Structure formats: C-alpha cells, structure tokens
Amino acid sequence: MGDEQLSGPSNHELMRNSSLYREFKAEREEILRHKWLESEKAGRDIGFERALTEWIVKYRSGWRRSRVDMHLLEKIGKYGLSIQAYADRDDFLAGKLLSEKDFKGNGLYRLIGCYVLHDNSALRRVDILGTTPLGGGVFAREYSDASPVHVHFYENSEIVINREGRIVKVGNTTLC
C-alpha cells in the first residue's frame, strides 16, 4: 500500500486546469505575439526580455482589464443576471433596495427581474433561473428612459444595456 498512488487527477493535471495557470498561459501568448510583431517590424529578433518589458509597460493593464470584463460576461452567461433597483451606490453597497412605489413611476420597474444571456450579448427575461444569478443594481439617481442602462456590480464593474436589451459594454470593453 505504501507505493500505491491514490486515484484521481495528478498534480500536473490540477495545475494545468487551474485558472491561474490558464491566465499565465494567455499572458505568455500575448507576450510572444508582441515579440513576433515587434521582431518583424525591426527585421530581427528583439528577444523575449525586451518583448516582455515593452508588453508589460504598454499593454498589460489594458489586457488584464479586458480579461476581467470578459470573465464578467462569461459569469452572466453561466449563472444569469438578477437586476434590482437602488437609489444610489451607497444603498447598493448597503443592500437597501428601492421601494416599489419609488421605482414604479420612472420606468425602472421594466428592468427589475431575472435574465439569461441569449445570442452572445442579448438579454432575455425569464421567470426563474436554475442557478443563483449574478446580482446587479440599477441606480434610480442615474436612470433615464432615454439613455442606456448601467447595471453595477460589487466588484466596481458594470455592464451597459441598450434599449434593445443588448449588452453593449462590459466594464471598459465595448462589444460590437
């Protein structure tokens, strides 16, 4: 029994399937792509260290932000979205919902509810979700019937939904 290995995934398999390792690999691929492009421009190999340094200084923060934005969209696709109404960010963070009489008159009532992601960026209202949805808040003080809707999340990110019910922006990333 001393030399027998327990059944199940190996440490190598666990590491390769971890989100940290997947992010590392994705970042490394971006650096290698940058190295190839810059080497082509220079007409010679610029080397990995130079490519790494340039990429970190010029592109890393934007690349990471867009990755976080896309993860939010993936979570909405996987778990659904529940939109609630709040007066403002302070009430949102405190979990103090707007009363129904306060949001009925300004059009917010049409937004409150559960949604699933349909056709990449279109939201479709549903009565019940089979999962615990991602919770987002719409702030009455910034809501207008004429403008796109900003749905805020606890991670200081937001999505913007146009009048057709399509997500047009996730965080800092504009969707086509």
Strand 134-139 to 158-161 pairing: unpaired
- Give the model's pLDDT for residue 17: 72
- Give the model's pLDDT for residue 165: 84
The token pair at 129 is 């979700």
Look up the pTM and report it. 0.65
- Give the model's pLDDT for residue 79: 87
- Give the model's pLDDT for residue 69: 80
- Say which residues have a Cβ less than 8 Å from residue 134's Cβ, sequence separation at least 6: 72, 75, 76, 79, 80, 81, 82, 153
* 8 Å CB contact between 148 and 163: yes
Residue ranges of domains in the chain: 11-58, 80-174
**Sign of the four-CA dihedral 81, 146, 144, 152:** positive
Output the tens digit of pLDDT for each of the chain's 176 residues.
Answer: 445 555 566 777 767 777 788 888 989 999 999 999 999 999 999 999 999 999 999 999 888 888 878 888 888 888 888 888 888 889 988 988 888 777 666 677 778 888 888 877 788 888 877 778 888 888 888 887 778 888 988 777 888 988 788 888 888 888 76
The C-alpha R_g of the chain, in whole angstroms, comes to: 22
- Give the model's pLDDT for residue 5: 54
- Give the model's pLDDT for residue 1: 46
- Give the model's pLDDT for residue 117: 84
- How far apart are alpha carbons 149 and 167 in whole angstroms? 9
- How far apart are alpha carbons 61 and 69 in whole angstroms? 12
Tell me the three state secondary structure of residue 86: strand
- Give the model's pLDDT for residue 6: 53
Strand 81-86 to 134-139 pairing: parallel
Partners of 125 in beta bridges: 115
Strand 158-161 to 167-170 pairing: antiparallel
Do you know the residue count of the chain? Answer: 176
- Give the model's pLDDT for residue 66: 81
